[in-house]
Amino acid sequence: MGIVKIGDELHEELRKSSGVMCRSINAQAEFWIKVGMLAEANPGLSFTEIMAQQLKEADVQVPGIKAA
């Protein structure tokens, strides 16, 4: 484990979003870092596509939404 120094404003946004997402502040920061790395490595993919790919790789079964 390491220490990453970030600005107060970003830390406040992490704190607020971690509450909404039911994650610790550290887990929220780690999530944002991972998604950012994946987005840089895959610039043609949307956030939704990146998340779908990660869920598939973890063998998570996500039910599809049927159009009306």
26-54 per-position pLDDT tens digit: 999 999 999 999 999 999 999 999 999 99
Taking the complete model, does pTM exceed 0.85, yes or no?
A: no
Q: Are 66 and 41 in contact (CB under 8 A)?
A: no
- Residue 43, Cβ neighbours under 10 Å: how many? 6
pLDDT of residue 10: 96
Distances, alpha carbon 43 to alpha carbons 37, 38, 40, 47, 50, in Å: 10, 8, 6, 10, 10
Task: Choose among 65, 31, 64: nearest CA to 50.
Answer: 31
Q: Are 14 and 28 in contact (CB under 8 A)?
A: yes
pLDDT of residue 61: 86
pLDDT of residue 35: 97
